Amino acid sequence: MLSMTNVARIYRTDLVQTYALRDLTLTVAEGDFMAVVGPSGSGKTTFLNVAGLLETYDEGSFLLDGEDVATLNDNQRSKLRNEKIGFIFQGFNLIPDLNVFDNVDVPLRYRGFNAPERKERIETQLARVGLAGRAKHLPAQLSGGQQQRVAIARALVGEPRFLLADEPSGNLDSQTASGVMDLLQELHGSGTTIIMVTHDHDLAARAQSIVHLQDGCVVNGAQS
């Protein structure tokens, strides 16, 4: 479970402090599929970065699977992130000089899995996203939808508890975006907890719950 209470994220300069998140309170239960929506500048991506332990927060409390994130040092945060969180980015973030297999392999190498286990995990996830026959292709040889599926396989290969998706359909046409959403719903059906930031209300409506952010906080009575 992921639980934030009165979380604030503040960016400061010499003269100004800006709240990217302010008094944000929400809970993501295990097995939930939550869509986070809101206008540009509402704090969606900052929320996702804090939830994914990519950014710290300045006020409030944040528990991830019962652990108080504020008590963790950098190494502990990195370990928790690598073990429990998978990321899907709008821009795919694939390494252009590595083929599909090696792109999916990257997080497993960081975690020190041996070669046979890495191979088994990679092949399993590529088959899961329908790309078993594309393992030796470079990203440039794939369509946008296929690249996003590689990114999903990379996010899943470490068997994370939480899958965080930042505008996963943002660079895709509507038909391809719908296919990616089908895959996310399938993953949710198999038990994966998903938090998805999106500007597309039609896609958000396919999630299990929706949170609306504005000016860095939850609005309209929180979750729907």
| Host domain of residue 195 | 31-56+82-223
Mean pLDDT of all residues in 151-172 = 90
Q: Is the model's pTM score more than 0.85?
A: yes
- Report d(CA 124, CA 116) in Å as an integer: 12
| 82-119 b/e (C-beta count within 10 Å ≥ 16 → b) | bebbbbbbbebebeeeebbbbbbbebbeeeebeeeebe
Q: Supply the pLDDT for residue 85.
A: 94
Q: Cα separations (Å) of 201 from 36, 141, 169, 172, 205?
A: 10, 31, 12, 15, 6
Confidence of residue 146 (pLDDT cuts 50, 70, 90): very high
Average per-residue pLDDT for the chain: 91
Mean pLDDT of all residues in 183-188 = 90
**pLDDT above 50 (res 154):** yes
Structure tokens at 163: 């899958």
* Percentage of the chain exceeding pLDDT 70: 98
Q: Supply the pLDDT for residue 205.
A: 93
**pLDDT above 80 (res 172):** yes
Q: Is residue 26 part of a domain?
A: no
**pLDDT above 60 (res 79):** yes
What tens digit of pLDDT does each residue of 42-71 get? Answer: 999 999 999 999 999 999 999 998 899 999
**Backbone torsions φ then ψ of 4, nearest 5 degrees:** -115, 135
**Backbone torsions φ then ψ of 120, nearest 5 degrees:** -65, -45
What tens digit of pLDDT does each residue of 191-201 get? Answer: 899 999 998 88
What tens digit of pLDDT does each residue of 104-116 get? Answer: 999 898 888 899 9
Q: Is residue 180 part of a domain?
A: yes
Mean pLDDT of all residues in 17-41 = 94
Q: Is residue 162 part of a domain?
A: yes
- Count of domains in the chain? 1
Q: Is residue 71 part of a domain?
A: no
Q: Is residue 217 part of a domain?
A: yes
The residue ranking higher by pLDDT, 117 or 15, is 117
**pLDDT above 60 (res 91):** yes
Q: Is residue 95 part of a domain?
A: yes
Q: Is residue 209 part of a domain?
A: yes
Q: Supply the pLDDT for residue 222.
A: 47
Q: Is residue 2 part of a domain?
A: no
Where residue 147 sits, what CATH number does that domain have? 3.40.50.300
Q: Supply the pLDDT for residue 175.
A: 86
**pLDDT above 50 (res 221):** no
**pLDDT above 50 (res 80):** yes
The residue ranking higher by pLDDT, 137 or 90, is 137
